[in-house]
Amino acid sequence: MGAGRLYAAVAAGGFRRYATYRAATAAGVFTNTVFGLILVYTYLALWDIRPHLGGYDRSQAVTYVWLGQAFLATLAIGGGGAEEELMERIRTGDIATDLHRPADLQLWWLAADVGRATFQLLGRGVVPFVFGALFFPVALPTDPVTWAAFLGAVLLAMLVSFGIRFLVALSAFWLLDGSGVTQIAWLAGVFCSGMLLPLNVFPGALGEVVRALPWASLLQAPADVLMGQARPLGTYALQGAWAVALLAAGRLLQTVATRRVVVQGG
């Protein structure tokens, strides 16, 4: 009980912390809207020539674009979540303080990141999405059950996203300078999550591979649940499996890494 309250407080702190920067949030909303506009037009040009490309119709392609813009910051698809600060703490050695807290390292950062993601979803995600839905043809369900199923997929996407980025952050225990790993994670995130093009448009074997990777859980999975392209239970199973696998790997790596920590005096 007490532990639950602690992590809830950490999550609330993560939420509040990002909510403080209103101008930055407004600027982010603007940028996401501009990029969404550019992408929508290119997608529409593509779907004009090939209607039903990847099994989507025009309005589904448009919906996919605005979901992507809503999730970019929420799921830190290009990085930029709690892992940045964690990496810095590992590099500077402040991590030693964190390890002495009567709280679990992974759960602590997960709670903070979920708080951050929730704020980004509400603060940065909703407005570009509403803008897109008002000015372009979108395919949105009317029954609340599908929306609830979609929220479930978003929650699982947050877990998978954190699972990936926690592993990225822990690499700093060995590498100290994490900029190379961060950059690779960014490339993989943008390419394999379907930010460039929906994964079901990727041709042949490449498409099959990217759809099986964990990044497919971030954007493609919730999008397909919302648009009725995938069954929620099957989607949850794949997302859940990746979440468990990644978080377990993170836990294992955390145990190995913290044994290496040598606290320097002074």
Partner 1 sequence: MAERSTGAAAAGTTAGAAAGTTAGAGFRAEHGGRGGARGRLADGLRAYRMIAGMWLRSTMAYRASFVMTTLGNFAVTALDFVAILLMFSRVDALGGYSLGEIALLYGLSGTSFGLADLAIGSMDRLGRRVRDGTLDTLLVRPVPVLAQVAADRFALRRLGRVTQGLLVLGYALATLDVHWTVLKVVLLPVMVVSGCAIFGAVFVAGAAFQFAAQDASEVQNAFTYGGTTLLQYPPTVFGKELVRGVTFVLPLAFVNWLPAAYVLERPYPLGLPHWTGFLSPLVALVCCALAGLAWRVGLRSYRSTGS
**Residue 249 contacts partner 1 per CB under 8 A:** no
2 binds partner 1 (CB under 8 A): no
Q: Please say whether the beta carbons of 71 and 222 come within 8 A.
A: yes
Report, in Å, the least distance between residue 213 CB and partner 1.
16
Contact 220, 160 (CB under 8 A): no
Position among 170, 197, 238, 246 found at the interface with partner 1 (CB under 8 A): 197
Indicate which single residue of 10, 37, 153, 167 sits in contact with partner 1 (rule: CB under 8 A): 37
User: If you count DSSP H runs as helices and E runs as strands, how many of each does the chain have, helices first?
Assistant: 13, 0
Task: Between 61 and 167, name the residue whose CB sits nearer to partner 1.
Answer: 61
Q: Does 169 bind partner 1 (CB under 8 A)?
A: no
Q: How far is CA 143 from the centre of its chain?
A: 25
Query: Quick one: angle between helices 58-74 and 105-120, nearest 10?
Result: 130
38: buried, middle or exposed (CB in 10 Å: 19+, 13-18, 0-12)?
exposed
* 134 binds partner 1 per the rule CB under 8 A: no
Confirm or reject binding of residue 52 to partner 1 (CB under 8 A): no
CA pair distance 225, 186, nearest whole angstrom: 25
Does 16 contact partner 1 by CB under 8 A?
no
Residue 72 interacts with partner 1 (CB under 8 A): yes or no: yes
Size of the site for partner 1 (CB under 8 A): 53
Helix (H, G, I), strand (E, B) or coil at 120: helix
Residue 78 found at the interface with partner 1 (CB under 8 A)? yes
The CB-of-27 to partner 1 minimum distance in angstroms stands at 4
